[in-house]
Structure 1
Amino acid sequence: MPRIIASPLLLVVHGRAGGLIPAELKDLARELETQRGAPVGLEALTAGEPPALPASSSATPLLLVPLFLLPGSHVRRDVPRIAARCRQCGPLRRLPFLGSWPAWQGALAAELAALKAPADAPAGDGPWLLHHPLEGPLGAAFLAHLEAVTGGRCRATPYSAPNPADAPLPLSGPALPLALAANRLTDALPSPLGLPLLQRPRFRAVLLEALRALP
């Protein structure tokens, strides 16, 4: 039986200032390349110039994987723009954004269930999902869905918070930052609260398994 050739991947991430890509995302891409035997590219929205695209063909189209957790402007505007650019270079298949994947939402539910709330915490006080603010009906509907499927409570938390000019973040219950990789929010949060999701074994395993299984 001939060996099935895996398609190349382009992982689209937010990135940090100057196009810096956190180490946990680079490690993920390297491991995927080894396990899939196909190129894995990383594109950061904060980079000045897009990277060269992995070669694709009709048999192995480029798979565009938006590694975003919320349906914000990056998913609604930046990802379609990147997809249009990629289609000019060859066949493309675009996946939904990561935060919409049932397996990912299941991992969030499991992680929140594993967090222990203080015995004297008021009923309904967490566990919290700290997320970047979303606007509009689509954002509100997605956050309501996320609360329903994970058992968490969503709390808008700007990437720049907390900082010395702000009041302390009032969290009487357990919380999980909805950040795939290190960013300004996780930098500002105390350990272990500020641990990004890809630095937590459950989420790395779920994402690695899902991406490894792509055709």
Structure 2
Amino acid sequence: MLVVVHGHSGGVVPAVLEQALGALAEQRPAPVWVQPLTADPVALPPGERLLVVPLLLTPGSHARFDLPALRARLRTAGHEVVLLPFLGAWPAWLEHLHHLVATAGSGSVLHHPLRPGVADRYLSALSQRVERPLISEWTVDGAGGGPFPLALAPNRITAQLEDAGFEAPALLERPATRDLVFTLLRNLP
């Protein structure tokens, strides 16, 4: 299994992801490799059968362009590749996210800015699914409560909310979400 994550500058994998994927590797009988999109390609043994699992929440540029390029590169290198849809499209994930947003009581969901097009259609559908508006910009306005951060691991969105005094854990910092993602990945072939 090749798990694709966004990563931080220089290919750094956030600690919460590293811990979750390390636990996954201990539970799966087959190897688990991690490919941050911000890093050079991970070294793989030749001729692997790879299930590529993108832990991406939206169909941004990484999902639409980087993943097909990664699949092509892996196939050219002699690997057999099955590319799964990005995590944000999985029905179990969408149901879980709806529950999280509803119980958080936030008036909106804050996401990373995306280019127009496919992402707009996805965000519109996601907004209907979670029954909240999705926003890509937010400023502290003194109103009570901040938006719900759509961030798998700590990033600028969660930092901005925490700097403004709001509790804004990344999704994988929430035990129920971490357990769900772990179970979904562990149960893949």
- TM-score normalised by the chain length of structure 2: 0.89
Cα deviation 1:2-28 (Å, max 9, x = unaligned)? xxxxxxx11111111111110111111
Q: How does 1:134-145 map to 2 (within 5 A)?
A: 134-145=114-125
Give the Cα–Cα distance (whole angstroms) in 1 for the partners of residues 156 and 87 of structure 2.
20
- Which string of whole-angstrom CA distances, capped at 9 and with x for unpartnered residues, describes residues 150-207 of structure 1? 11210113xxxx7xxxx52665455311111111222232165331101111211111
- CA distance change for structure 1 residues 86 and 176 in 2, over 3 Å: closer, same or farther? same
Cα deviations by residue, 1:40-63 (Å, 9 ceiling, x for unpaired): 11111212x211125655xxx211
1:52–1:140 CA distance, 2 compared to 1 (3 A): same
* 1:164-203 equivalence runs, <5 A: 167-168=139-140, 172-173=144-145, 175-190=147-162, 193-203=167-177
Aligned residue number for residue 51 of structure 2: 63
Q: Could you tell me whether the CA contact under 8 Å between 2:146 and 2:166 is conserved in 1?
A: no
TM-score normalised by the chain length of structure 1: 0.79
1:31 and 2:23 matched: yes
Residues 91, 150 of structure 1: alpha-carbon distance in 2 compared, 3 angstrom cutoff: same
Q: Helix, strand or coil: the match of 1:195? A: coil
Distance in 1, matches of 2:64 and 2:173, equals 27
Indicate yes or no: 2:74 matched with 1:94. Answer: no
Unpaired runs of 5+ residues, structure 2, are none
Letter in 2 for 1:23: A
Tell me the C-alpha RMSD between the 2 structures.
2.0
Alignment of 1:77-116 (within 5 A): 77-88=65-76, 89-116=78-105
Aligned residues: 186
Counterpart Cα distance in 2 of 1:39 and 1:196: 26
Bigger fraction of residues in helix? 2
Q: Give distance in 2, aligned partners of 1:169 and 1:93.
A: 46
